[in-house]
Structure 1
Amino acid sequence: MNSEKIFTDPKFVAIIATICCLLWGSAYPAIKIGYALFNISQSDVSSELVFAGYRFTIAGIILLIIAQKCGKSVFNISKKNVLELSLLGFTQTTLQYIFFYIGVANTTGVKSSIMNSTVTFFSVILAHYIYVDDRINKQKAIGCIVGFIGVIIVNFNNNLLNFSFSFLGEGFVIIAAFIFSASAIYGKKLTKSMDVIIITGYMLFIGGVVLVLIGVLFKGGVYHFTMESSLVLIYLALLSSAAFSLWNLLLKYNKVGPISMFNFLTPIFGAVLSAIFLGEKILEFKNIIALILVCLGIWMVNREKISICQNPVKFQHGRN
């Protein structure tokens, strides 16, 4: 079975999309566990950036090695491509994850996973102003409203009387989601002339190196390498390379709507895994209501009446 058949078969599409969302959801507790194992404090922003940089640099190297082994021309890129990849790496990896890693450090894994789901709604809103054939209709508008209501609710306490929102925590996670949505639209354009795996590899590698340099410049560092902490770092790198690549391949061979609909699984996996590995409370009333509304919103803005395999298109805006 060739790649196109695999990535357009409804059964494989559902399995692969679910695996991607599971991997992304697992990143929330994994990052916080990594902070603890490497003794990176919540206030040590520069070390948080070095930690993120190591993760994405390794992930990028893994993808570029795989591309090279598959016979792809990894180093045959023009000066124009270098500039384009550098811009994408800086925005979608460096800039986004500066906000994301700081945000995750200053809030819970459950809240982070729910707040970051706003990437779907930002993508819908930005696409309305950029793509002529991707306007916001009544269903999408309601979906966005429902989703944002869920994001607001998760910041209240259980009796919905007190509002708790940290700009450096929840605020930074939302900013990261917006940056991702905007940069993903730019990344879509590059796929018309470059291989998906190569783009993703360089995006992660360049962005990761810049994160390390910024962190080191501000006296940050990652120490306390043990077998356990090293395995967490390697896991984070592998999940990035695997999830980004698989998701982008799904978007290459299918329409965006039916694929992006699976995004509702990410906050669910993130919240459940945070509860399991971090001992965070997920069964609080406000968390359950927020998860339901966010997932419903994501489903509504991406629901289409066509089948998953009809009219395949190359890269429109989506999770990545």
Structure 2
Amino acid sequence: MQGNSEFFTRRYVVFACAVLCTILWGSSYPAIKTGYELLNIPRGDIPSLMVFAGMRFLLAGLFLIFINKLLKRPSLPLNWQNVRQLSLLGATQTCLQYVFFYIGVANTTGVKASIMNATGTFFSVILAHYLYHNDKLNQRKLVGCLVGFAGVFMVNFSDSLLSIDFTLAGEGAVVFAAFILAAGSIYGKRVSQNMDAMQMTAWQLAIGGLILLVIGYGLGGQSGDFGFSATLLLMYLALLSSIAFAVWSLLLKYNPVGMITIFNFLIPIFGTLLSGLFLQEAFLEWKNLIALLLVCFGIYLVTRVGASLR
């Protein structure tokens, strides 16, 4: 009986931690859009958007480095190879990805952005098919990708269903950011074979954030009107990234990968719900609900491996 009790207690903790991560990531959509308003950053001011993103991820990287110290994880040796790999990761997976992500979020609703960004899961599956001989598309993954992309297509219909409500600066930028993340994650997976994943994430966030800051300020970007609320929001965005990445890395380390990654389907759900709640966006429209169901079911199909807690 005691063994069963420990098993269910551990399973509950794993479940709670995974859900916490998805709530934090889902909350980033309304938080970013709220940040634009508090800082008075126009959606067309790309350099200032880069500065906002850079401040967030530089802080997130520094927070995560501090968390690594608290957990007494071994320091990452900063030799030439590691610096080169981390710089490439930071320039792509953080800097380039979030340039397009922040532009996209500024030009579409939080509800649509949370659903559109879920395409990253399907891009990862497709890219892995061509890059890894042991991670090929099967029937279940193919159906999952088709179902997921059908959901993304659905959410872009206008209310009348007679036209497509899609812009390159909005939905297109979010999808391109998701593709960059998928490609960068595959490279990150290769790099993580020779370095600690949490240390790798910390440094690439910090490096990518610094690049965003330098380019943003260099192009004339401004940090915005920082008051008390804006400062708290920036700290929250930085902490949510560092805490979620730290907890997620520990979950992946001590549990079967398939059992953890399947929780990814909750991110667009929480992103949609929280955007509707905090931004007063309409999300109970039938096309949004159908799109959300299709995307979540697609993510479930491509990440399900039938693993159980060990």
What range describes the TM-score normalised by the shorter chain of this pair?
A: over 0.9
Equivalent pair of 1:259/1:308 in contact (CA under 8 Å)? no
Cross-structure match for 1:316 = none
Match of 1:168, SS? Answer: helix
Residue 142 (structure 1) aligns with = 143
Corresponding residue SS for 1:238: helix
Aligned to 1:71: 72
Per-residue CA deviation, residues 20-58 of structure 1 (Å, 9 max, x unaligned), is 110110000000000000000111111000000000000
Structure 2: distance between partners of 1:152 and 1:232: 32
Shift of 1:196: 2.4
Q: Which has the higher helix share?
A: 2
Q: CA deviation at 1:254?
A: 3.3
1:241 matches 2:242 = yes
| Ranges in structure 2 where 5+ consecutive residues have no aligned partner | 1-5
Give 1:15 deviation, angstroms. 1.4
CA contact (8 A) 1:24 1:270 kept: yes
**Normalised TM-score (structure 2):** 0.94
> Aligned letter for 2:81?
K
The answer for the alignment partner of 1:62 in structure 2 is 63
Report the CA distance between 1:160 and its aligned residue: 1.8
SS at match of 1:164: coil
Q: Distance in 2 between matches of 1:71 and 1:23?
A: 24
Deviations 1:130-178 (A, max 9, x none): 2222211111111100100000110002332221100011001001101
**Shift in Å at residue 126 of structure 1?**
1.1
Partner residue in 2 for 1:272: 273
Counterpart of 1:226 in structure 2 is: 227
Does the aligned pair in 1 maintain the 2:111–2:276 contact within 8 Å?
A: yes
Query: SS at 1:258's partner residue?
Result: helix
Letter in 2 for 1:254: N
CA–CA distance in structure 1, aligned partners of residues 132 and 202 of structure 2: 27
C-alpha distance in 2 between matches for 1:199 and 1:294:
29
SS of corresponding position for 2:164 = coil
Letter of the 1:299 partner, please give it. Y
> Is the 2:256–2:308 contact (alpha carbons within 8 Å) kept by the matching residues of 1?
no
SS in 2 for 1:71: coil
**What amino acid is aligned across from residue 42 of structure 1 in structure 2?**
R
Q: Aligned ranges for residues 174-189 of structure 1 at < 5 Å?
A: 174-189=175-190
CA distance in 1: counterparts of 2:196 and 2:144, whole angstroms? 33
Counterpart of 2:169, as a letter, is: L
* Structure 1, gaps ≥5 residues long: 310-320
State the distance in 1 between where 2:15 and 2:130 align: 30
Kept after mapping to 2: 8 A contact 1:154/1:287: yes
CA–CA distance in structure 2, aligned partners of residues 66 and 246 of structure 1: 10
Percent of aligned positions with the same letter in both sequences? 53
- Give the Å deviation of 1:75: 5.9
Cα deviation per residue 1:59-89 (whole Å; 9 max; x = unaligned)? 1111112223443443632111111111111
Pair 306,157 (structure 1): closer, same or farther in 2 beyond 3 Å: same
Which deviates more from structure 2 when the two are superposed, residues 23-32 or residues 238-247?
A: 238-247
Alpha-carbon distance, 1:180 to partner: 0.6
Determine if contact 1:196/1:249 at 8 Å carries over to the other structure.
no
1:53 corresponds to 2:54: yes
Paired position in structure 1 for 2:109: 108
Give the superposed CA RMSD. 1.7
Paired letter, 2:270: F
Report which stretch shifted further, 220-229 or 46-55.
220-229
Matches of 2:125 and 2:251, distance apart in 1: 18
Aligned to 2:43, what secondary structure does the other structure show? coil
SS in 2 for 1:17: helix
2:258–2:307 contact (8 Å) kept in structure 1: no
Structural mapping, 1:255-294, within 5 Å: 255-294=256-295
Indicate if the aligned counterparts of 1:35 and 1:41 stay in contact, CA closer than 8 A: yes
C-alpha contact (below 8 Å) 1:90/1:207 kept by paired residues? yes
Are positions 1:43 and 2:68 aligned together?
no
Quick check: 1:160–1:286 contact (8 Å CA) kept in 2? no
- Where does residue 3 of structure 2 map in the other structure? none
| Map 1:2-21 → 2, pairs under 5 A | 9-21=10-22
The offset of 1:9, in angstroms, is 4.0
Q: Residue 153 of structure 1 contacts residue 160 of structure 1 at CA under 8 Å; is this kept in 2?
A: no
Match of 1:298 in 2: 299
* Secondary structure at 1:181 match in 2: helix
Structure 2 counterpart of 1:77, which letter? L
